Amino acid sequence: MEKRTYATNISVSTEKQILTILWADSHKSIYPLEGLRRACPCVECAGGHANMGKKVTADIFTSPHTETWTITRLEELGNYAMQVFWGDGHDTGIYRWEYLRDICPIENGVLSL
């Protein structure tokens, strides 16, 4: 088990508009929902010609909130990813743990606790 990419706890606060992941190496990641949605890796969100080849970085989490996002369900897919079911029905985003950890806004110094 790779502790850095093993999620031990995941929680969503609609009120605070954040998703929090606690990792097995004790690091705590906080993802503003606006950025998390913008970072959606699905083909529809990431595959357009305008976005081709663009790499998502932690800077995406500085995006101001354009609306109140809700997450209705999270599903862990084996030990490699989680699928996010957004309140607006978008559910094709499969976020790999490694991807999430790599763009952690705390670790990358974009946000502070």
CB-wise, 2 or 75, nearer to Zn ion?
A: 75
| Cβ count near 53 (within 10 Å) | 5
CB-wise, 99 or 107, nearer to Zn ion?
A: 99
Residues of this chain that interact with Zn ion (CB under 5 A) are 40, 42, 45, 93
Closest separation in Å from C-beta 48 to Zn ion: 11
Helix (H, G, I), strand (E, B), or coil: what is residue 83? strand
- Asked if 32 contacts 65 with a C-beta cutoff of 8 angstroms, the reply is yes
- Tell me the Ramachandran region of residue 109: left when phi exceeds 0, alpha when psi lies from -120 to 50, beta otherwise: left
CB-wise, 23 or 93, nearer to Zn ion?
A: 93
Closest separation in Å from C-beta 90 to Zn ion: 6
